[in-house]
C-alpha cells in the first residue's frame, strides 16, 4: 500500500511539468549534496573527528569515487528496470548509509560507508541526468538543476560552521537522511522509463558521421573529467587555503557562501547567453578568468583578495559547466553519453581532492593551486573538440 503510494505506477506524469522539474532538481540536489558543502565538511572532519587534512580529503574522494563507478550499474539498470523502483532502492540505501554515518567516527569505517553511499548517490545522479536529457529544453533544466544545487550549497556553507559547535559534525548526515525521506514522496512525478537509446538521435543514417561524433563525444567526456579534477581539487581545499592564511572561520564561511551565490549568477548567465556567441568563446573566457582567480590564492591571502578570488572561481566554474553538459546532450548519438558524464564528472570530483591531498601533504597549498591551473588549461585543449562536436551535431539537426 505504502509502496504503491510512493511509486504510483499508474501515474504517467509529463517530464516537462513544473512538479516534475521540481522533483528532478530536488533529486539532483540531494544526490550530490556532499559536493557543495565539501569545504566545510572537510574542515569539520579535521576539527571534530581529529582526522588529518589528507584523511578528510580521502573521505570526500571515496564517496565521489563510488558515484563515478555506480554509473556503469545505472547504465545496466536503466534499460532493464523501472526507473522509479531503481530510484527508490538507491534513495533507501542513501538514507540508511547516512544514518549509519551519523554513528561512525572511525576513519576506515567512515571511508567504507561513504564509498557505499556514493554508489547509491551515483545511481540516483545518473538517472537524474538522464531524465534531464528527456525534457523539452535540457539547457533550461540544467540551469535550474545547477541553480538548485548552488542555492542549497550556499545555505549549507553559511549555516553549517555555526551549527557544528552546537550539534557536532555528524548531525549533517542525519539532516540529509531526513531530506531524502521527503524526496521519496516525489518519485511518482518522475518517468518510469527513458527513451530507446538505440533509436534516439539518429544522424541522417550516416555511419561515418556518427562515428566522428562519438569520437568527439569521448573527447568531450575527457574534457569534463580533466576540468573537474583541476577545479574541484582547489574547491575542496578552498576553506583550508583560507585557514592557512589565518582568516577567521566566520569570514571564510561568509566568503564561501557568497561565492556559491555568485555561482548561481554564473549558471543563470550561461543559460541566458546560450549559444548566441557559440560555445568556445564563452568557455575560453571563463577558463581565463578561472586561471586568474586561482593564481590570486597563491601564498598568503588577504580577506578581500580571498573573497574576490573565491567568487570569480565559483562564477566561472558554474558558467562553463552548463555549456559542457548542453554539448553532450545535443550531440548524444548513442543515448548513453549523457549518463557517462556522471563517470567523467564523478571521476574528476573524486580524483581532484585525492590529488590535492597528496600534493598538500608533500608540497603545501600552492602545489594544489598550481595543479588546478595546469588541469584547467589542459581541459581547454580538449574542450575545443567538445565545442566542435556540438556545432557539428547542430548542423545535422
Cα(394)–Cα(279) distance, rounded to whole angstroms? 12
Q: Considering the domain boundaries, does residue 4 fall inside one? A: no
Predicted pLDDT at 98: 93
What CATH number is associated with residue 210? 1.20.1250.20
- Residue 84 belongs to some domain of the structure: yes
d(CA 327, CA 319): 14
Backbone angles phi, psi at 276, to 5 degrees: -55, -40
Q: Would you write out the chain's pLDDT as a tens digit for each of its 397 residues?
A: 455 555 555 556 678 888 988 998 899 888 888 777 877 888 888 888 888 888 888 888 888 788 878 888 888 887 788 888 999 999 999 999 999 999 988 899 999 999 999 999 989 988 888 888 778 777 678 778 888 888 887 788 778 888 888 888 888 889 889 999 999 989 888 888 765 433 344 434 445 556 767 777 788 888 889 999 999 888 888 888 887 777 777 778 788 878 878 888 998 888 777 767 777 888 889 999 999 999 998 888 888 888 899 999 999 998 988 788 877 776 665 557 777 887 888 778 778 888 888 888 888 888 989 999 999 999 988 877 666 655 555 554 4
Tell me if 1 is assigned to some domain: no
Cell numbers that stand for 394 in this block:
547542430
Model pLDDT, residue 334: 57
Domain assignment present for 163: yes
What is the C-alpha to C-alpha distance for residues 101 and 65, in angstroms, rounded to an integer? Answer: 17
Residue at 233 is within a domain: yes
The rounded distance, in Å, linking the Cα atoms of 191 and 177 is 23
Range(s) of the domain holding residue 296: 13-191+201-396
The structural domain count of the chain equals 1
Residue 264 lies in a domain: yes
Q: What is the structure's pLDDT at 388?
A: 64
User: Does residue 307 fall inside a structural domain?
Assistant: yes
Its pTM stands at 0.74
Domain membership of residue 350 (yes or no) is yes
Amino acid at each position: 500500500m505504502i509502496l504503491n503510494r510512493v511509486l504510483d505506477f499508474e501515474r504517467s506524469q509529463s517530464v516537462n511539468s513544473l512538479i516534475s522539474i521540481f522533483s528532478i532538481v530536488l533529486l539532483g540536489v540531494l544526490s550530490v549534496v556532499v559536493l557543495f558543502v565539501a569545504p566545510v565538511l572537510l574542515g569539520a572532519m579535521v576539527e571534530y573527528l581529529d582526522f588529518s587534512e589528507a584523511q578528510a580529503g580521502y573521505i570526500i574522494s571515496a564517496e565521489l569515487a563510488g558515484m563515478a563507478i555506480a554509473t556503469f550499474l545505472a547504465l545496466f539498470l536503466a534499460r532493464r528496470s523501472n526507473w522509479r523502483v531503481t530510484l527508490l532502492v538507491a534513495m533507501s540505501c542513501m538514507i540508511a548509509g547516512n544514518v549509519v554515518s551519523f554513528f561512525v567516527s572511525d576513519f576506515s569505517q567512515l571511508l567504507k560507508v561513504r564509498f557505499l553511499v556514493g554508489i547509491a548517490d551515483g545511481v540516483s545522479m545518473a538517472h537524474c541526468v538522464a531524465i534531464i536529457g528527456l525534457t523539452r529544453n535540457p539547457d533550461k533544466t540544467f540551469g535550474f538543476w545547477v541553480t538548485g544545487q548552488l542555492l542549497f550549497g550556499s545555505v549549507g556553507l553559511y549555516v553549517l560552521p555555526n551549527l557544528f559547535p552546537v550539534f557536532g559534525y555528524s548531525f549533517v548526515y542525519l539532516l540529509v537522511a531526513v531530506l531524502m525521506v521527503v524526496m521519496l514522496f516525489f518519485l511518482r512525478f518522475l518517468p518510469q522509463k527513458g527513451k530507446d537509446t538505440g533509436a534516439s538521435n539518429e544522424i541522417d543514417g550516416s555511419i561515418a558521421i556518427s562515428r566522428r561524433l562519438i569520437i568527439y563525444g569521448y573527447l568531450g567526456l575527457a574534457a569534463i573529467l580533466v576540468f573537474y579534477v583541476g577545479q574541484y581539487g582547489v574547491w575542496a581545499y578552498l576553506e583550508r587555503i583560507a585557514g592557512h592564511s589565518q582568516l577567521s572561520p566566520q569570514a571564510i564561511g561568509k566568503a564561501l557562501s557568497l561565492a556559491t551565490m555568485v555561482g548561481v549568477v554564473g549558471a543563470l548567465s550561461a543559460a541566458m547567453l546560450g549559444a548566441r556567441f557559440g560555445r568556445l568563446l564563452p568557455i575560453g573566457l571563463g577558463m581565463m578568468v578561472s586561471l586568474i582567480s586561482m593564481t590570486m590564492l597563491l601564498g598568503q591571502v588577504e580577506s578581500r583578495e580571498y573573497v574576490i578570488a573565491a567568487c570569480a572561481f565559483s562564477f566561472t566554474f558554474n558558467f562553463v559547466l552548463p555549456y559542457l553538459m548542453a554539448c553532450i546532450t545535443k550531440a548524444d548519438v548513442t543515448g548513453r553519453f549523457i549518463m557517462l558524464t556522471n563517470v567523467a564528472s564523478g571521476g574528476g570530483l573524486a580524483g581532484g581532492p585525492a590529488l590535492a591531498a597528496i600534493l598538500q601533504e608533500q608540497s603545501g597549498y600552492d602545489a594544489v593551486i598550481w595543479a588546478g591551473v595546469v588541469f584547467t588549461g589542459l581541459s581547454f585543449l580538449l574542450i575545443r573538440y567538445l565545442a566542435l562536436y556540438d556545432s557539428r551535431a547542430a548542423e545535422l539537426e
